[in-house]
Structure 1
Amino acid sequence: MSTLTSPTGRIYGGIFFLCLATLMYELVLTRIFSVLMWYHFASMAISLALFGMGVAALLVYLRPAWFPADRVPFLAARFSVLFALSVALFFFIFVLFRLYPQLGFKVLSFFHQPFYQPFQQGFYDRGVPGSLLLVIALLYLVTSLPFFFAGLALTLLLSRYLAAINRLYFWDLLGAGTGCLLIIVVLKLVGGITAILVIAVIGLLAAALFLPPQTPSLHRLGLWGVLLLLLAAGGANLLYGYADIRFARGRYEPNLLWSSWNSFSRVAVYPSQSQEMGQAWGLSRTYQGPIPEQLGMVVDDTGYTTMYRWEGEKTLGFFRDNVIALPYYLQQRPKALVIGPGGGKDVLTALAMDAVEVTAVEVNNLIVAGVNDEFGSFTGELYRRPEVRLEVDEGRSYIRRSSERYDIIQASAVFGRMAPAAGAFTLSENNLYTVEAFRDYWDHLSPDGILTISRFIFERETLRLVSLGLALLKEEGVADPAAHLAVIKERGLANFMLKRSPFKPEEIARLRELARQKEFDVVFLPDSRSGTGPFPELIASGGSAEYYRAYPFDITPTSDDRPFFHYMYKPLDFIRLFTFPAQSNFEDRAVLTLRNLLVVVAGFVALFFFVPLFLWRRQGLREPGTAGRIGYFACLGLGFMFIEIGLMRRFILFLGPPIYSLAVILFSLLVFSGVGSLLAGRFSDKNRRRTLLRVLLALVLLALFSIYALPLPLDAAMSAPILWRCLLAVLLLAPLGLLMGMPLPLGMALFHRDGSAVPWSWGINSATSVLGALLAVVMAMNFGFNLTLLGGVLVYALALLPVLLHRAPQP
């Protein structure tokens, strides 16, 4: 394909809007997948994006005759329209789900969480049906269609205007970076489903800019007609909600009372069933008092919490007989910190037990709006009560900046599971449950303060809480760690307690008597250490390496470098999953879904990328320098994803609420990479190879420096206002972003004499990015984020080799 050097301003504008719409669609997918299925399934969104674009690039390379160079602007407009229509098709799937909810349930029932509401079972097949692979494959192909059409438009433009690739790539990344910010506003204003149509409209705006001036007016009239139709459909959905999601925790909920979206969640409220209200998790079986009226609240698909009707003492009596109230019986009018209060259960417990002050740190402003505003008359505006101080912040980030000490720090079944941003899929990453987090809690406890965390006893994670406590006590040099620990459960819910000072004999006696009166089960108390079972055995071992090696699952303490609290497979066991074992625990389906994604993605990459090359371009594979070119662009795809995922991890604690990490980190990396691409065009063509070697070497060295040096300024500025922290994050990310934007346009210019092989290289880069997005997660889960970053550095270092071996073709 021949190339031109002067794309018009309309072409740049079209690329900006198309990339803006594509990134927004990718992020909306992470939100919608999180609401309908497990939140970690949102990882598929970035893989979808890169896969669709990569297949498009390969098609342009294999069939160049289908895309004449003189028609590229018109074809880019046509594919932008197809992008918009395929995005709109995704919207009408939700219309279909509203009309025929049983269709949605056939797919969503697999993702049901058993016991998704107290004592009520959902789908509970322990096996992973082989048909799920087909479902994932179908879902993968349908939702990747918009990325495929966007990829066709972008690949054609890059090939047509190769000499201007620096500027094209700049507008590409600037549009994507702007999309990171705009999606936050759009989700807030119109919600996730209507946002799909907003994205389709932006795609049509890109098509309008791509259309050549001489295009017949009929095409323009048709384009504007479709645009008006989509605007009307979106406006009607805002007014009547005919396509809104009515599924909550895998169950169709036609009577939702309220739902709302923000950048990282969708919160819905619906009536609780009568049997759920009387069988609350942790409630003593001896309780005979009144049951408060309740409303169920769900965050995405897995974060369930409850709001309670405020009726003064009548309400509060209910909470004194819950297992989560036990620490309060050991304190007199305590000062309490509640992390992740949700609908208010922990706060009501603290009030019921005469806490003198309760600080509630809730990361999700929609939950606060639900409790205080939307259902304020029901809850008594709980978070506005004089005894309660509300902080909308990420719990770990807040406590690190706080100078206060508390008698009780409480977190009851806080999932902390939020859908990640593009490229930031971290499975069950949770900053609240690491050794460093326990250190933060310990430092903010009063001398006799208690850290109390409640989790479901049948989850292996409860045992990991004990291992975290043992690791902290060992760091503190405590002679008798067992004297600081207690675990008591009520049927399914266990209350883990870590006391800063040893439990006194009278406190132990008090806990034991309370357990007897309320028919709680004592799992571990310091005065009885000779029992059998994993809890007393782990504590007796002191958290020894021998015990952890012998235990069938990974219950070792998690760290900020590897904060996958819910991931409990040992690396070798994860590899064994690829033998497709017949049986597995339901709670392991997070990992099984990742395995299935890897299988599906690897299969599609082989089928759509490499098989066509061997069938139709075998001769091209034998050309001199081809192997080096493939290796170079493969390294760029893998390296970028490894470093992006690792870098985003570095800033989560520093920035606090997910909205800031999403906006600041992705925006900074994408926009500064775009600026780097623009700057790369200023380098002399004569010294392109030497320039690229220097850029790659500087990138490797700066990335290495960032791994070990970034924690210092981040820790020093932790207490700064959020605006200053955001600005500092941008400044720290800017140099690396600049360098990460240069290798691709410089490499395109170095390895291609014309535009004929550009689609191939672009496709290889996309294909390896598809795998890199998932492989980086697997590496981080098993070995930590530092090694993931180091892996990215190593891959970029390997990219130096093809450049060193490259020889300019003879004229």
Structure 2
Amino acid sequence: MRALLPLFLLSAAAVGVEIALTRFFAVASFSEYGYWVISIAMTGFAVSGVVMVLGRDAFLRRAATLLPALPLAMLVAGAAGWIAASANPFNPLELQNPATAWPQLENILGYYAALFPFFFLAGLAVSLNFVARPERIGLVYGYDLLGAGAGAVAALLLMLVLHPFLLVPALLPLLALATALAGGRRWRIAAVTVLVAAEAAVFAFAAPAVSQYKPIYAPLNVQGGQVLGEWTSPRGLYQLLDNFTERLDTDVTNNAGSMGMPAPPRAYGLYRDGSRIAALPMRLPVEAGHAPGALDAAPYALLDAPRVLLLGAAGGFRAAEALALGAAHVTVIEPEAVLRDALRHGLGPVPAMAPDPRITLSDAHPLRAAGRFDLVDVSGDFLSADDQNRHAYTREALAARLAQLNPGGMISIPVSIRELPAYAVRVIATAQAALRLAGVSDPGAHLAVIRSAWNLRVLVAREAFDEARVAKLLDFAEARSFDLSWAPGLPPGREVWNELSAVSLDSGGVDSGSGSSADAVAEEAAALLSGTPRQDAFDRSPLTADRPWLSPLVRLPAVGAAIERMEVLPQPEIGLLVNVAVLAQAALLALVVAGLPLLARGSLRVRPAMMGRALVFFPALGLGFLMVEIALIEQAALLLGDRTAGFALVLTAMLVFSGLGAVLAGRVANPGRALRIAALLALVLGVGAAFVLPGAVAAALDLPFAVRAGLLVLALAPLSLAMGMPFPLGLDRFRQEGAALLPWAWALNGAFSVVATPLANLIAHGIGIAPLLLAGAACYLAVALAWPRSSA
């Protein structure tokens, strides 16, 4: 066991650095580029298996030297890679311009060149441990997984106290400790010397910084601007800014002056990972004189003293606005933890929300709010304030809110149309589906759509809009130069105050629509609600509990057109193209690794039938484990109300319990029987999770956080134990057919793990989370079928 402690430590360092690098990309770039880190890591592991196959005998002869040397080499590579990655001038926005795209492609290759050596050496060290200790494969794999779980926990704990740019240097000492434990006195001296030199180089030459295209960059650099506070946590890096550009970001009529209304007030800006999530008030009482001129006031013009359920408080501004617009009572739900604490206790110079008997700050989950309301009002920044808030936009969530409305009540849903009108159409389609789910036969009669040039509100009414309400809404819009894009019985020939052209990949750019109205949303809403929705490159299907993502909108068959016309796409859509590119690269790598026996020219010395079984067994494990893991992370994020917490708990629990399963696999008397039981148990539990987990998660949302986390771990334990057994059992079984199969199996598993991550994301976004779980579970059926029945 002592001999395997270095493996435990280097695995912890590898996973910890991987997580730390994803945080680096989230702060310095956009979070979707964290996929590269996963891809680079798994590519390094896969290539290390290829190298081990081709040079197995040479590595074995030098194992005594390599086992302490590889962690030290990882330390050097990790420091050098971090310095190079932090200096990379990558700008994803330039990918959208053909004239500037090529240098950015070179920068992407620069990330691979910087980070690949570290993960290649990590994979080489792990595979050498397998090759050097073939009789203890279960124990070796168990220490590998347990170390990885410990590394995930270490990275998350460090996020509580360290800036994201300090995480990688903080994890490098684990590798020096691994070398010190694996070697003698000279190795310990070398470990200390190299660690000191590497850390000195990191702090002297690494220059991680927020790039100039991030939303926070400009306000950070305006004259007189100040950072009033900075808080770090696993949820993100929070920064509170004060400068002359920070105001309440809300759509107000251009006629505010003639209507005697003030402009939206100055505010502090709260940013998370470089993106603005809210404006926070500078003083009490919160100013709301602008409220009657705001687009958000539209539903209040139709309701008399409504009881309001407010999803998202916009730092307290929205509650004040609702009261100024005549609300009798406002129940506020703010899911984002830092914003909720700011309302209760203040944040730095930001005052806490003043006590008011007309306002109730609820701790309920947005999907579990109880009570009866006249208006469910979603704040304009609700969707961007927290990743999990997207679940409030689904068909099922809207149908539940409709059931809570009093007679005459309605839901008001904001959508940004700054970049793609199709986002609004997708929300309209979701509202239409929710109304049908609630038993409404003519959804169009219950919908109204009002917009400015930049934002839009979809109003979903419990009862059909009558002529009087439509007239009131039209008067409200025209008095403020807003546009009423849809309402039942809307008179034709209206003047469009804010022209809005359609964005089309089919025509290669922006067009003015099919008619003369110059209102793309009006045209698309009319077509959608009449049963003839527009069919093009963009997906306008409703958001559902199983597919709760508003973006990306580009359909997979239209990826080619999207690549050609990247300049017309907003940033959220580029993540899909990155995902497809990573998948293409991963598939190429998997083909190369799968064809390794041809490159090795018979050095594997294994029967073709056995190679065929290995080509099913180990790729299925690589695909299945990560597909199930990614699906469970999505459900856990909803359960815990935080994607980081969900990711951390699922990753740690699965690694730890899979590690225990691997250790258990090394002690079974009948490997074949144990393998079949474990694989079929993984299949049954995975299929059961696909059907049972969504309802169980929804039912548990109101429980205390500790109880939800405990229930999640209990649910993960049996599945993870079962999923941890097949890989070491397979390594041991296939090794009996030929020793060189062991590193090839490691390479196959790594290569198809690279494929699994982007493939899983495409399946989840394109088909759903439940189908992803079913696909991952089905891989374990393939594992059971591919198991060699005998060694004869």
AA matched with 1:221:
I
The superposition leaves residues 15-73 of structure 1 with CA deviations (integer Å, 9 ceiling, x where unpaired) of: 2222222222222222221222232222222222211111122212212354244634x
Closer, same or farther: CA 410–512 of 1 in aligned 2, 3 Å: same
Partner of 1:30: 22
Output the CA distance in 1 between the equivalents of 2:486 and 2:189.
74
2:738 is the alignment partner of 1:748: no
Partner of 1:282: 251
Partner of 1:694: 677
Instruction: Verify the 8 A CA contact 2:590 2:748 in the aligned structure 1.
Output: no
Instruction: Verify the 8 A CA contact 1:127 1:582 in the aligned structure 2.
Output: no
Partner of 1:85: 76
SS in 2 for 1:704: helix
Closer, same or farther: CA 663–502 of 1 in aligned 2, 3 Å: same
The superposition leaves residues 608-663 of structure 1 with CA deviations (integer Å, 9 ceiling, x where unpaired) of: x3676544445538743222223211111111122222233333333323344223
2:765 is the alignment partner of 1:781: yes
Output the CA distance in 1 between the equivalents of 2:83 and 2:109.
20
Residue among 729, 751, 765 paired with 2:749: 765
Residue among 417, 426, 430 paired with 2:390: 430
Partner of 1:53: 45
Residue among 160, 172, 178 paired with 1:206: 178
Unaligned runs of 5+ in 1: 1-8, 98-102, 112-123, 421-427
Closer, same or farther: CA 462–673 of 1 in aligned 2, 3 Å: same
Closer, same or farther: CA 290–573 of 1 in aligned 2, 3 Å: closer
SS in 1 for 2:365: helix
Give the CA RMSD over aligned residues: 3.5
Instruction: Verify the 8 A CA contact 2:7 2:144 in the aligned structure 1.
Output: yes
Residue among 446, 465, 480 paired with 2:427: 465
Query: Mapping of 1:631-642 within 5 angstroms?
Result: 631-642=616-627
Closer, same or farther: CA 416–528 of 1 in aligned 2, 3 Å: closer
Instruction: Verify the 8 A CA contact 2:734 2:741 in the aligned structure 1.
Output: no
Instruction: Verify the 8 A CA contact 2:661 2:725 in the aligned structure 1.
Output: yes
Partner of 1:156: 128
Per-residue deviation, 1:373: 7.0
Per-residue deviation, 1:743: 0.5
TM-score (norm 1): 0.84
Output the CA distance in 1 between the equivalents of 2:748 and 2:385.
31
Partner of 1:39: 31
For this pair of structures, how many residues does the alignment match?
A: 753
Output the CA distance in 1 between the equivalents of 2:355 and 2:348.
10
Instruction: Decide which moves more: 586-595 or 161-170.
Output: 586-595
Closer, same or farther: CA 83–530 of 1 in aligned 2, 3 Å: farther
Query: Mapping of 1:287-686 within 5 angstroms?
Result: 287-288=256-257, 289-310=262-283, 312=285, 315-368=287-340, 376-377=348-349, 379-382=350-353, 389-390=360-361, 398-414=365-381, 416=383, 430-458=390-418, 459=420, 460-528=422-490, 535-536=521-522, 540=526, 543=529, 547-548=532-533, 550=535, 552-574=537-559, 576=560, 584-587=568-571, 588-605=573-590, 609=593, 614-617=598-601, 619-620=603-604, 623-624=607-608, 625-684=610-669
Closer, same or farther: CA 586–536 of 1 in aligned 2, 3 Å: closer
Partner of 1:117: none
SS in 2 for 1:787: helix
Output the CA distance in 2 between the equivalents of 1:419 and 1:695.
37
SS in 2 for 1:293: coil
Per-residue deviation, 1:742: 0.6
Output the CA distance in 2 between the equivalents of 1:25 and 1:674.
20
2:688 is the alignment partner of 1:705: yes
Instruction: Decide which moves more: 152-161 or 74-83.
Output: 74-83
Per-residue deviation, 1:462: 0.9
Task: Kindly indicate whether structure 1 or structure 2 has the higher relative contact order, using CA contacts under 8 Å at least 6 residues apart.
Answer: 1
Instruction: Verify the 8 A CA contact 1:503 1:526 in the aligned structure 2.
Output: yes
AA matched with 2:771:
L
Output the CA distance in 1 between the equivalents of 2:152 and 2:354.
31
The superposition leaves residues 236-277 of structure 1 with CA deviations (integer Å, 9 ceiling, x where unpaired) of: 99xxx9856475337464566143332132223334554x75
> How high is the sequence identity, in percent, across the aligned residues?
25
Output the CA distance in 2 between the equivalents of 1:196 and 1:548.
49
Output the CA distance in 1 between the equivalents of 2:754 and 2:173.
27
Output the CA distance in 1 between the equivalents of 2:175 and 2:153.
17
AA matched with 2:168:
I
Output the CA distance in 2 between the equivalents of 1:578 and 1:505.
42
2:182 is the alignment partner of 1:224: no
Output the CA distance in 2 between the equivalents of 1:290 and 1:699.
59
Per-residue deviation, 1:516: 2.1
Closer, same or farther: CA 621–600 of 1 in aligned 2, 3 Å: farther
Partner of 1:425: none
TM-score (norm 2): 0.86
Output the CA distance in 1 between the equivalents of 2:94 and 2:318.
31
Output the CA distance in 2 between the equivalents of 1:416 and 1:29.
26
Output the CA distance in 2 between the equivalents of 1:153 and 1:188.
30
SS in 1 for 2:619: helix
Instruction: Verify the 8 A CA contact 1:87 1:199 in the aligned structure 2.
Output: no
The superposition leaves residues 706-746 of structure 1 with CA deviations (integer Å, 9 ceiling, x where unpaired) of: 32233454444443322222222222221111110010010
Output the CA distance in 2 between the equivalents of 1:611 and 1:137.
24
Output the CA distance in 2 between the equivalents of 1:356 and 1:419.
28
AA matched with 2:308:
A
Instruction: Verify the 8 A CA contact 1:260 1:366 in the aligned structure 2.
Output: no
Closer, same or farther: CA 571–108 of 1 in aligned 2, 3 Å: closer
